[in-house]
Amino acid sequence: MKFKGILVIICAFLMIPFAKAIDSDNDGINDEDEISLANEFSPFLYFEKGEEVYPVSVDYHIKNSNLNKSVDGENILIDSNPSAEILSKYKNPGENYYLDNRKGSIEDRGIIEDYRNEMENLGYTVYARVTTSGSNIVVQYWFFYAFNKGPLNTHEGDWEMVQILLNPSRQPLAVMYSQHISGQKAGWEDVEKEGNHIKVYVARGEPCKLFQVLSGKDGACK
C-alpha cells in the first residue's frame, strides 16, 4: 500500500498540573506520569489520500444513535437518546444490544456524509490509556471511527488501537497494532518512528493499523 498525499495526525494530550501525586485508577502509576508517558510515545497517524473518515469522539456516534436490542431477528428500540453512562450498564455482549446510527446505514453514505459535514467542528480525538501488565507498562491509544467502509467489511462504528509495551524502567520493548479480529506485533527497533513517536499507517476506508518495518515492507490487514 502506498500512502500518497497523506494526512498526518499528531496525537497530543493535555498536561494537567497536580498539587500532589494522584493515582486515580490505582495501577501504581500516578496520573501526571500517565499523561507524560501518553505524550512521550504519542503516535503519528498517516492517512492515504482520499480517506473520508478520521478518528472522532465516540460521543458524536452516541448522540446520533438509537440503542436497540436484537431478539429473535427482530430489532427492538430500547432508548432513542442513550448516553455513555447509560451504555456502561450494558456489559454482556450476549444480550445483543447495539447502537444504530440514525444518520444512515451500511447501504448508503448517510453516516459518512454527516461526518464530513461536521468534520471541521468535530476535529480529531484519540483516547490514551496507561496501565501495567505485570512489571511492565502498557501505553495504549484508542481511535474511534464513525464508519468503516473497506474491501473486507462495511459497518457502523469501529474501535482500533495501537499499544506500546515498556519495561519497568520505562524503556520501549514492542508495539502492537490492531487489525479488526487480529493484529500485528513488532519489536521497538523494527518500526518506523520519529524519536519515540511510532508511525502508524491507516488503511483507507477500513481503519486497521499498519506498520512499515525498516526493510520497507508493509503490514497487512486481517
As a three-state string, the secondary structure of 189-210 is: HHECEECCEEEEEECCCCCCEE
Quick check: 24 pLDDT over 60?
yes
Helix, strand, or coil (residue 23): coil
Quick check: 221 pLDDT over 90?
no
Question: Residue 111: its pLDDT value, please?
Answer: 97
Alpha-carbon dihedral of residues 47, 204, 148, 50, nearest 10 degrees?
80
Quick check: 5 pLDDT over 80?
no
Domain boundaries, the chain: 15-56+124-221, 58-123
Each as own residue / partner, the long-range contacts of residues 26-32 (CB below 8 Å, 24 or more positions apart, any chain) are 27/130, 27/131, 27/132, 28/132, 29/130, 29/131, 29/132, 29/137
Quick check: 213 pLDDT over 60?
no
Under the banding of pLDDT at 50, 70 and 90, the label for residue 17 is low
Quick check: 162 pLDDT over 90?
yes
Counting Cβ atoms within 10 Å, is residue 152 exposed (0-12), middle (13-18) or buried (19+)? middle
Least trusted range by pLDDT, from 125-129, 146-150, 162-166: 146-150
Question: Residue 178: its pLDDT value, please?
Answer: 87
Quick check: 114 pLDDT over 50?
yes
For residues 212 and 11, the model is more confident at: 11
Does residue 82 contact residue 67 with C-beta atoms inside 8 Å?
yes
Question: Residue 186: its pLDDT value, please?
Answer: 93
Q: Using CA atoms, how far apart are residues 178 and 169, in angstroms rounded to an integer?
A: 25
Does residue 211 contact residue 217 with C-beta atoms inside 8 Å?
no
Does residue 222 contact residue 180 with C-beta atoms inside 8 Å?
yes
